[in-house]
Amino acid sequence: MNLRGVYTIPVTPFTASGELDEASLRREVRFCVECGAHGIVAPVNASEFYTLTDSERCRVVEIVAEENAGRVPFVAGCSAVSPQHAVMLARQAQSAGADAVMAMPPVVRKAAGQEIFDYYAALAGAVDLPVIIQDFIAPIGTPMPPELLARMLREISGVRFLKEETTFGPQVLSLVRELAGESLEGVMGGQGGRFLFSEVARGACGTMPACHLTDVQVDIWERLQGADEAGARALFNRILPLLNFENMYAVAAYKEVLHRRGVIATTVSRGAPAVLDEHDRRELEAILADIEPFYRVRW
């Protein structure tokens, strides 16, 4: 699997009554592909996976796989409460047509050490797909020691990639690459692409942000890969106010931008920590006014 570039994350859109909005999700997938995404990842944290029933999670995977139709690689999120739960989700993802799976350690009840190792071993042993370890901050995630990450990459067949987005993530990235050696096939950055330049300088193969700015983030990536670091940094600096805004409002911000871009029908969320008020929306309008000229795709 060529895990490289901007692997973008669709949010999970909901109807006004809070049900899964399948039509909006299909539009999101088409939007991601049209924006030049190198891959699609769902359902994960930016998708509010933790608010979905198992049947809804499986349906999201089915819809993304169907609508994508193999145009770009598709990574299915399989974070779960137990090895058995993760295996069920991963097998369904493989059956639906996913190209890889990604999971955090067991959620809800936090695990450590050998229990985490056994969880990923069960996941990798259940499917014929590459497994991406997601190292994410608490409370949803369980940050893992670099030594454990490297051990799993070395010793578990199928565990080949890492998405690193913990505190001091770029330094963790460097250390894991050193410890794991050739067993690590690639590291993806996270946290909305906020630390992309440091991550790439340390050997990252890409980033996994939410999908609302896919076209702009692909533009930044292409400039960086084309030896136009100055141009990449200039464009990154234009979106930095939005990245700061997202750091506070997360899913609520992603959905507001996607709604304004005509991709999803509502901004309804099940798990966002805040709802934007009129002052937030005015600030977002001012921020987007500086970014909109760089949209490659307009819906």
Mean pLDDT of all residues in the chain? Answer: 97
- The total number of structural domains that make up the chain: 1
Residue 159 lies in a domain: yes
> Do strands 74-77 and 39-42 pair parallel, antiparallel, or not at all (unpaired)?
parallel
Interval 206-231 mean pLDDT: 98
- What's residue 109's pLDDT? 85
pLDDT at 155: 98
Tens digits of residue pLDDT in 138-184: 889 999 999 999 999 999 999 999 999 999 999 999 999 999 999 99
Q: Is residue 52 part of a domain?
A: yes
Residue 260 lies in a domain: no
In this structure, is residue 281 part of a structural domain?
Answer: no
SS3 label, residue 295: coil
Q: Token pair 């080949």 is at which residue? A: 160
Q: Which amino acid is at 262?
A: G
The structure's pTM equals 0.96
Bridge partners, residue 187, by sequence: 162
Strands (E), 108-150: 131-136
Kindly state the average pLDDT of the residues 110-137. 97
DSSP single-letter state for residue 210: B
Residue 203 pLDDT:
97
Does position 299 have pLDDT exceeding 90, yes or no?
no
Q: What is the mean pLDDT of residues 202-222?
A: 98
For residue 168, give Cα distances in angstroms to 84, 131, 132, 174, 270.
31, 23, 19, 10, 29
Percent of the chain beyond pLDDT 90?
96
Q: Is residue 19 part of a domain?
A: yes
Helix (H) or strand (E) holding 35: none
Mean pLDDT of 221-232: 97
Per the domain annotation, does 197 fall within a domain? yes
Confirm if 209 and 217 have CB atoms less than 8 A apart: yes
List Cβ neighbours of 223 (8 Å cut-off, separation of 6 or more).
229, 231, 232, 235
Residue 13 domain-assigned (yes or no): yes
pLDDT digits (tens, 9 = 90+) for 184-198: 999 999 999 999 999
CATH number at residue 184: 3.20.20.70
CA-CA distances (angstroms) from residue 140 to 107, 221, 226, 258? 7, 28, 36, 24
Range of the domain at 85: 5-212
Distance CA 145, CA 155 (A): 16
Question: For residue 267, is it within any domain?
Answer: no
Please check the confidence at residue 116 and state whether its pLDDT lies above 80: yes
Report DSSP letters for 6-31, one per residue: EEEB----B-TTS-B-HHHHHHHHHH
